[in-house]
Amino acid sequence: MPVHNADVAAVFGEIADLLEVQGANVFRIRAYRNAARTIGDLLSDLNTLRAQGKALTDLPGIGADLAAKIDEILDTGTCAFLERLRSEVPAGASELLKIPGLGPKRVKALLLELNIQNLEQLRSAAAEGRIHELKGFGEKTEQHILRAVEGYQSWPKRFNLARASQYVDALVAYLRETRGVSQVVVAGSFRRMRDTVGDLDLLVVASNPAVVTKRFVEYDEVNSILASGDTRASVVLKSGIQVDVRIVPRESFGAALLYFTGSKAHNIALRRIAQERGLKINEYGVFRGDERIAGETEQSVYAAIGLPWLAPELREDRGEIAAAQSGRLPKLVELADLRGDLHAHTKASDGRDSLEAMALAARAAGLEYLAITEHSRQLGIARGLDVKRLAQQSDEIDRLNARLDGITLLKGIEVEILADGSLDLPDAALRRLDLVIGAVHSKFELPRAKQTERILRAMDHPSFSILAHPSGRLLDERAAYEVDMARIIRHAKQRGCFLEANAQPERLDLWDVHCQMAQAEGVLIAIDSDAHSTFDLANLRFGVGQARRGWLSKQDVLNTRSLKALRSLLKHTTLRAAS
């Protein structure tokens, strides 16, 4: 079975977790975590790089030892070092680490102090009130663990867009090589750019459907076949993703694409409109009686019921049909509209590439400016910058800007918002910067009112520019903290500052509905990659998808502005705070 980048990253991630449970050297743990992120973010397929004879040691942070392990994983799907760790660490560790909010340190405590070896034992211990007695847990943490375990056991497995794309891209390429296939398109929630997907829907146009389904179920990544017929088949890949393939006639392709893209609520609303016009709409087309009057394209289906084509990201029955009927559909922001990226890290903190490498990668990606925003000193695990190191980097940025053409680096910081709402660095240091991104990385458990007040106080700081990943969520790992987002958005409007739509696939934060709320209040959104390597800049596409789901157009996005216009807006933010 071909091994994808995500599979290699998962192996390195598990190694890092198990090493941390063992209490291994922090630098060794960090090497594996950085390797996992580097591989997970890598745009080029590792197997392709090997076939081209390129050295894996050329990748950031990948030395000879890690490169050898990558080769082993690509060849076997695992590595001997991981298997050895699994035999050395208590058997339940890997299973417990799958629960959101349970990091290696807490797992180690549960293993050693309560002898918890599996999820059922964890659930029982939480339900019986035995966990909160451990140091560092508490009753709230115990209840969170109980909810997380019950949710994990009952919810279907979901995949973020970046990971799902690795599997679907390879499968689409495989099906396109099938004799007689003229079109392969991904539908479903993946096409609507939902933050996670539970399964994948593929539509195929082919001259011989049976040949397609036969080749599909023979795909070497198939773990089990759920159904197989002449025109459709369903399988579960070894990655755990269920994939449904349907072969449809060309004259019905548009109707089928619309139907299987969803959402269900959107489709129901369309059928209701069709019925009011005496029509029937389904996956085969639009019918007046027995006559098919549309169906080959999505545009023809919408036009048959009096609507313009709607972008897939809008199809959630959240007012898009009424907007279409009244001519109020937005022209959604596109990746090409972005002129810069306002959140990026280098190896000065927890990034993996140099300042110049990030600048050149941003220029190659067609960006005009890139803000360098290292973590601040409070986040020690990320080697955050103190005042002296921040000043040194600012000087380095000035020198680099003086000799680079086609890209401008902006001086910034991702400063910690402390529990009392103060910022982690003094005013004098922040005033020298072009922008200041405020972020919450601790005290997630604060009550809603206190968490909200904490952020509002931070936003009132005169140098504050953008609120980073405003809800703090990590998909399938950490729930959003409790906060009054409507109040934060209104305060941003009053204060004249901005919110971020973080494009990291593990975050996709701001949520789509909150993007809509911000748009309604006139608060601009910065679509940022939060890049920790040159590869991460490509994640901007996922942030654009989230913004499009939130109905944002080009004018609603801060970093679609020219550098001159951006500087003016950032300066205006400081002036508003001073007044």
Domains and CATH numbers, the chain: 5-154 (1.10.150.110), 159-247 (3.30.460.10), 259-325 (3.30.210.10), 335-578 (3.20.20.140)
Average pLDDT over residues 530-559: 96
pLDDT category of residue 282 using cuts at 50, 70 and 90: very high
CA 514 vs. chain centroid, Å, equals 16
Residue pLDDT, tens place only, 6-28: 889 989 988 998 898 888 888 88
Q: Is the pLDDT of residue 577 over 70?
A: no
Average pLDDT over residues 258-282: 96
Q: What angle do CA 465, 354, 564 make, to 5 degrees?
A: 35
Confidence (pLDDT) at 378: 85
pLDDT category of residue 579 using cuts at 50, 70 and 90: low
Q: Is the pLDDT of residue 318 over 80?
A: yes
Are residues 468 and 502 in contact, defined by beta-carbon separation less than 8 angstroms?
yes
Average pLDDT over residues 185-212: 95
Q: Is the pLDDT of residue 92 over 80?
A: no
- The 10 Å Cβ neighbour count of residue 302 is 21
User: Residue 283 and residue 262: Cα distance in Å, rounded?
Assistant: 11
pLDDT category of residue 38 using cuts at 50, 70 and 90: confident
Least confident window among 91-105, 133-147, 431-445, 512-526: 91-105
Confidence (pLDDT) at 201: 96
Q: Is the pLDDT of residue 116 over 90?
A: no
User: Residue 135 and residue 137: Cα distance in Å, rounded?
Assistant: 6
pLDDT category of residue 156 using cuts at 50, 70 and 90: low
Residue pLDDT, tens place only, 429-467: 999 999 999 999 999 989 999 999 999 999 999 999 999
- Give CA separation, 1 vs 7, 69, 72, 226, in Å: 11, 17, 14, 19
- Give CA separation, 543 vs 69, 91, 469, in Å: 32, 38, 11
Confidence (pLDDT) at 356: 97
pLDDT category of residue 154 using cuts at 50, 70 and 90: low
- Give CA separation, 21 vs 13, 213, 406, 518, in Å: 13, 45, 46, 41
Quote the percentage of the chain above a pLDDT of 70: 98
Phi, psi of 434 (to 5 degrees): -80, -30
Nearest to 28 by CA among 4, 2, 3, 61: 61
What six digits make up the tokens of 207? 């001259």
Confidence (pLDDT) at 113: 85
Average pLDDT over residues 527-547: 95
**Top-confidence residue, 536 or 116:** 536
The three-class DSSP label of residue 75 is helix
Confidence (pLDDT) at 578: 62
Residue pLDDT, tens place only, 248-261: 999 999 999 999 99
Confidence (pLDDT) at 575: 64
Confidence (pLDDT) at 20: 85
- The 10 Å Cβ neighbour count of residue 66 is 20
Q: Point out which residues pair with 528 in neighbouring strands.
A: 502
For the chain, the farthest-separated pair of C-alpha atoms sits apart, in whole angstroms, at 76
User: Residue 440 and residue 438: Cα distance in Å, rounded?
Assistant: 7
Q: Is the pLDDT of residue 558 over 80?
A: yes
Are residues 549 and 193 in contact, defined by beta-carbon separation less than 8 angstroms?
yes
Cα dihedral 564, 568, 569, 571 sign = positive
- Over its C-alpha atoms, the chain yields an Rg (Å, rounded) of 25
pLDDT averaged over every residue in the chain: 91
Q: Is the pLDDT of residue 43 over 90?
A: no
Q: Give the DSSP per-residue string, 244-268.
A: EEEE--GGGHHHHHHHHH--HHHHH
Q: Give the DSSP per-residue string, 191-240.
A: HTT-SEESEEEEEEEES-HHHHHHHHHT-TTEEEEEEE-SSEEEEEETTS
